[in-house]
Structure 1
Amino acid sequence: MLSSLGFLEAIFWSVLQPHVFLLGAVTFLFFAAFFRRRSQKNYPPGPPGQPIFGNFFHLDFKQSHLAIQQFVEKYGNIMQLEFGSLTSVLVTGLPLIKEVLMYKDKNFLGRPVTPLREHGFKTNGLIMSTGQIWKEQRRFTLTTLRNFGLGKKSLEERIQEEAQHLVQAIMEENGQPFDPHFKINNAVSNIICSVTFGERFEYQDDKFQKLLWLLDEVTYLEASVTCQLFNIFPRVMNFLPGPHKKLFKYWEELKLFVAQVVEKHKSDWIPAETRDFIDAYLIEIEKHKSDTSSSFNEENLICSTLDLFFAGTETTSTTLRWGLLYMALNPEVQEKVQAEIDRVIGQSPPNMAVRESMPYTNAVIHEVQRMGNILPLNVPRAVVSDTTLAGYDLRKGTVILTNLTALHRDPAEWTTPNSFNPEHFLENGQFKKRESFLPFSIGKRVCLGEQLARTELFIFFTVFLQNFTFRPPDNEKLTEKFRMGLTISPVKYHIRAIPRA
């Protein structure tokens, strides 16, 4: 009898325990979140979150940067959001953004290392590294990029040459509708590839086209719902299939490509003849090989090179795709740009020296950046030590998001904030800088490729309109619909490029 009771008891507990465990875990997480909220007595206000998930379900992941604005109206220019155990603070308005990125920047220089990023990059590279690693990598990269032509005539000439390759590729479409996505990606990527890898890639190179496709996929996947759930439940999501597994696979393929290029460089490396960024980095590794605290190692070489490849391709090429779209949607603006090009440079190759003589073209490019809004909440920062902002206490590790969407669409700053209007950047016919225009961010962590990107945008865009008139296809309506990813890009579209006489 007793043995039977023991058997039944064992069955009972085998059925009950998983449920009890699950209920206990949920209860624990609920109270942990509750008491964490209660303990933050002087934290910014924000919408109340759900147990475990926080404000995760408050966001529309197809347009999260727009969905979040309704909460800004309710809770103000400094607002708290929680995603699982991750606390974020959204900062809105130029005075507060400048305080975070410039005046108090030493407290906000970190980058949040989410489980997603930790899985792929740890704390390596240029974009998401923090502290001494970031300082060493950034200082070295800026010096090396300058050595290889950043800000010099030689790099301008390289961009001019690539622009002509792209013109020829577009000419081959014979005025018929085509998708400009990967042609533009290839051309822009070739500039940073010539600096990092020491070579450019043909537009018909299947291997490189696959690489550009992988880059586009990771840009899209990393912002997906499933990948963001990985940041909340990394251990659980590790056992589940989904887009996050694709993301990890694609990042590894991209890293493998860079690793293979590095190995090729090592096989024919002559230290006295530095050909590109990878060669320069290999020299730096040799210099620091006896220093165990140095961040110069092969893993950081791969991650930093991949960061350059990503940043040097994605942001500029996406902006240019927005540019072609806005020209086709605003033919009267396109005509004015072409009239200025014809008057100032004719058929001569554009260069940065003539930009001041082309205020309307320059204003149009800036308006493309404002309306395209490709980094709507900027690259996130992290609080590096307990600090205060606008009278609120912020703990170390808090993620800081700067609301560039609100800044670039502020009706107090822009006459027609939601309409494409180059006059925003013109005053009495001359180009006008705007303090509330921060597509490259500001402060010590300002985009290190800003000068390169500005040069590429001006030369490529001017060459486009110098050689073509862009129109919608006869049977396709172009729209300003966007695709949400790490950047905001136009949805896939086709366009006609009519050669100009």
Structure 2
Amino acid sequence: MLSPSHGVLTFAKGVSNRLPGSSQTHALLVGALVGFLAYVLTRKRYRLPPGPWAWPLVGNLSLTRDDQEAFYVKLRRLAVERYGPVITVHLGTVRCVTLNSVEVITEALLQKGAEFAGRPYQYSLHEISEGFKNVAFADYGPGWKLRRKLALQAIRHYLRGAQMENAVHEVVAVTADKMLSEPGAFDPKGYISVLMFMILDSILFGQIKPFDCPPPERMMDVFDQFSDETEERFLEDVIPLLRFCPTPRFRRAMKASKRFSDYVRKNIEEHRKSVCPDNIRDLTDSIILAQIEAASANVTETMEEFSDTHVVRTITDIFFAGIDTTRMTLHWALLFLAGHPKVQTRMQAEIDAATGPRLPQLADKPNLPYCEATLYEVMRLSPVAPTSLPHKTMCDTTVGGYDVPKDTLVLVNLWAAMHDPDKWEQPEEFKPERFLDVEGQLSARPESWMPFSTGRRSCVGESVVKHELVLILACLLKTLSVSLAPGQEYRVTTRLVSYFMNPPLPYSIAVTPRNQ
């Protein structure tokens, strides 16, 4: 039996005999033709997921444009109407596999967790994270596992104390007074941002700065500038030549990132001078002590993978994720509560019954099932990261019956899983009671509820955020009531700034004090 290579050579010789020119030219042409045909005949064949036709160079970027429908909504519509839950799209020249149902998300992130646990390389993220020395953007491997493990240990240890509760009480009281002093309706975004920054500053560094800091100390402004500059993808990520002459937006983002990192680094250095295992003041102390304990094992690999730079990047991760996740969730929550006064009244009744005249505490959380269910419903309807952070396949693998080659970019459509009518009754309706059992207590959360993603790359700060959000919202509603601005129509609309974030459109509320 003749081999494919024999057929290729015979075909190439036949072509060569018909070509004019020197024997050297013939040899080069034959070599090139043999190589090309051998590649075509022997390359691995993949059964790739289906998807819409892609334009050269730009691919399917039109799906991510700011128009009347968000990217993740379009993906679910394409999944339902045409392609099924696993869809291939092209973001520029990059092939991307998107997962649009809880079944394929579970298969990828839980059943085949290690195979889908990578992070794709992105130049801007490499620069921001000082060479991927953090947890969020680092690729899957021993160093990432160590840093995530130590960060989780520090967070669990920190949650045993009362620092977060004390910070929330102090900051919410100041914020509520400022909001109540407004003469009319206002956009609560600024108040929520400062509130969350002050709380995170206290949780991480044990300090609560004045609400109205002087401009040089307003790191929240730096944080906001960085968030604004990174809402859209950088051209430097897709056009390498621009890295030698960056765009103004990229330069502004890097400057803001460095200024914020310097702020974190300065606070860590001050903590190192007085850290004490018997007096853990904040989360930074916990992480520094975790580093010291790991280093005491005197394992070279451990010290290299959790250096001082890694500590800075890990704490910066927690700062950014903690602020962005919580402030956007609270921004949505106030909108939903202003539009659903009966839900707000029921929450306040539950809070009053559990706490009496005092402010809510973390110990009250088991007695606030409706409050917690309301936050779960806010996060289900409006997840702040609807496609999560991008994943990358670590090897050739499969999902939903299709092949996914190694190093493929994978987007997980969390929004689609939490709006699936086969899993959620009336998925577009705001119904906190869907998370309660017949006795009014929290029921087991459905597997399709995944605002923090799932599997090996789920959010490190999930345990902090869930405790923190319940306490903040309960303290706010203990003090004041919110309503829509007079004449403003209630509508739940996303501000389509990018394909991976989900902020609400600006809105205004009025607040009134609660007389108890």
Normalized against structure 2, the TM-score is what? 0.81
Q: In the alignment, residue 394 of structure 1 is paired with which amino acid?
A: V
Aligned-partner SS, 2:305: coil
Distance (Å, rounded) in 1 between the aligned partners of 2:432 and 2:275: 50
After superposition, the Cα gap between the structure-2 partners of 1:480 and 1:243, relative to the gap in structure 1 and judged at 3 Å, is farther
Decide which of 176, 182, 188 is 1:167's aligned counterpart.
176
> What do the CA deviations read for 1:11-42 (whole angstroms, capped 9, x no partner)?
xxxxxxxxxxxxxxxxxxxx9xxx9xx97631
Distance (Å, rounded) in 2 between the aligned partners of 1:105 and 1:398: 15
Distance (Å, rounded) in 2 between the aligned partners of 1:280 and 1:356: 26
> Quick check: 1:389 aligned with 2:396?
no
Shift of 1:323: 0.8
After superposition, the Cα gap between the structure-2 partners of 1:107 and 1:290, relative to the gap in structure 1 and judged at 3 Å, is closer
Residue equivalent to 1:21: none
> Quick check: 1:43 aligned with 2:48?
yes
> What do the CA deviations read for 1:48-79 (whole angstroms, capped 9, x no partner)?
21212222233224632223333323211111
> Quick check: 1:230 aligned with 2:236?
yes
> Quick check: 1:184 aligned with 2:192?
yes
> What do the CA deviations read for 1:85-132 (whole angstroms, capped 9, x no partner)?
432211121121111121110111211221221232222111111212
Contact 2:164 2:203 in 1 (8 A): no
After superposition, the Cα gap between the structure-2 partners of 1:278 and 1:500, relative to the gap in structure 1 and judged at 3 Å, is closer
Shift of 1:348: 2.7
Shift of 1:146: 2.7
Contact 1:201 1:208 in 2 (8 A): no
Q: In the alignment, residue 115 of structure 2 is paired with which amino acid?
A: N
Residue equivalent to 1:70: 77
Contact 2:72 2:416 in 1 (8 A): no
Distance (Å, rounded) in 2 between the aligned partners of 1:183 and 1:251: 22
After superposition, the Cα gap between the structure-2 partners of 1:39 and 1:60, relative to the gap in structure 1 and judged at 3 Å, is farther
After TM superposition, the structure 1 stretch with the greater mean CA deviation from structure 2, 96-105 or 53-62, is: 53-62
Q: In the alignment, residue 488 of structure 1 is paired with which amino acid?
A: N
Residue equivalent to 1:113: 121
Residue equivalent to 2:137: 128
> What do the CA deviations read for 1:420-443 (whole angstroms, capped 9, x no partner)?
222322343523332221112222
Distance (Å, rounded) in 1 between the aligned partners of 2:301 and 2:428: 53
After TM superposition, the structure 1 stretch with the greater mean CA deviation from structure 2, 470-479 or 401-410, is: 470-479
Identity %, equivalent residues: 27
> Quick check: 1:245 aligned with 2:251?
yes
Contact 1:383 1:395 in 2 (8 A): yes
Distance (Å, rounded) in 2 between the aligned partners of 1:282 and 1:436: 36
Unpaired segments of 5 or more residues in structure 2?
A: 1-35
Contact 2:46 2:405 in 1 (8 A): no
Distance (Å, rounded) in 1 between the aligned partners of 2:149 and 2:471: 27
Give aligned pairs, total: 461
Counterpart mapping for 1:342-421 below 5 A: 342-421=352-431
Distance (Å, rounded) in 2 between the aligned partners of 1:455 and 1:471: 25
After superposition, the Cα gap between the structure-2 partners of 1:208 and 1:82, relative to the gap in structure 1 and judged at 3 Å, is farther
Distance (Å, rounded) in 2 between the aligned partners of 1:407 and 1:290: 42
Aligned-partner SS, 2:460: coil
After superposition, the Cα gap between the structure-2 partners of 1:113 and 1:204, relative to the gap in structure 1 and judged at 3 Å, is same
Contact 2:155 2:464 in 1 (8 A): no
The structure number with the bigger radius of gyration is 2
After TM superposition, the structure 1 stretch with the greater mean CA deviation from structure 2, 344-353 or 278-287, is: 278-287
Alignment RMSD, CA only?
Answer: 2.9
Residue equivalent to 1:298: 308
After TM superposition, the structure 1 stretch with the greater mean CA deviation from structure 2, 228-237 or 50-59, is: 228-237
Normalized against structure 1, the TM-score is what? 0.83
Distance (Å, rounded) in 1 between the aligned partners of 2:224 and 2:331: 13
Counterpart mapping for 1:78-477 below 5 A: 78-121=86-129, 122-130=131-139, 131-148=141-158, 150-173=159-182, 176-207=184-215, 210-224=218-232, 227-236=233-242, 239=245, 241-265=247-271, 268-269=273-274, 275-279=281-285, 281=287, 284=291, 287=296, 291=300, 294-428=304-438, 430=440, 431-432=442-443, 433-474=445-486, 476-477=488-489
Shift of 1:418: 1.7
Shift of 1:269: 4.1
Q: In the alignment, residue 495 of structure 1 is paired with which amino acid?
A: I
Contact 1:195 1:276 in 2 (8 A): yes
Distance (Å, rounded) in 2 between the aligned partners of 1:424 and 1:335: 18
Contact 1:92 1:407 in 2 (8 A): yes
Distance (Å, rounded) in 2 between the aligned partners of 1:288 and 1:118: 29
Unpaired segments of 5 or more residues in structure 1?
A: 1-30
Q: In the alignment, residue 71 of structure 1 is paired with which amino acid?
A: L
After TM superposition, the structure 1 stretch with the greater mean CA deviation from structure 2, 448-457 or 239-248, is: 239-248
Contact 1:327 1:333 in 2 (8 A): yes
Contact 1:378 1:402 in 2 (8 A): yes
